[in-house]
Amino acid sequence: AQTVTQSQPEMSVQEAETVTLSCTYDTSESDYYLFWYKQPPSRQMILVIRQEAYKQQNATENRFSVNFQKAAKSFSLKISDSQLGDAAMYFCAYRRRTYKYIFGTGTRLKVLA
């Protein structure tokens, strides 16, 4: 069965600095998608970035980028120029071509002014 592991329950970063959140996953599939979602205290999950496994190029969305290492089954999120509004729970998620998402347990990110 597929699993997603986020080994950092909590991370802190100074405003304007860079932070990297870790995620590893286990699967025997070759075609799948990976996602990072942000869940602020208001609780609505917001898509941050997604990566298709068949693409070697790492996805980037403004200040957010990923380091996707398919062989190592690693999918880390880098947040550059951190802002106070980035404070939230961040969930890594895996999805096969169809069917359900599998989420990690989350990393709480604190941004220090």
Partner 1 sequence: ETGVTQSPTHLIKTRGQQVTLRCSSQSGHNTVSWYQQALGQGPQFIFQYYREEENGRGNFPPRFSGLQFPNYSSELNVNALELDDSALYLCASSGGLLGTDTQYFGPGTRLTVL
Residues that bind partner 1 (CB under 8 A): 4, 33, 35, 37, 42-47, 50, 91, 93, 95, 97-106
Q: Shortest Cβ distance from residue 16 to partner 1 (Å)?
A: 29
Nearer to partner 1, 43 or 113 (CB): 43
Nearer to partner 1, 19 or 102 (CB): 102
Q: Shortest Cβ distance from residue 99 to partner 1 (Å)?
A: 5
Q: Shortest Cβ distance from residue 7 to partner 1 (Å)?
A: 13
Nearer to partner 1, 35 or 68 (CB): 35
Rg (CA), the chain: 13
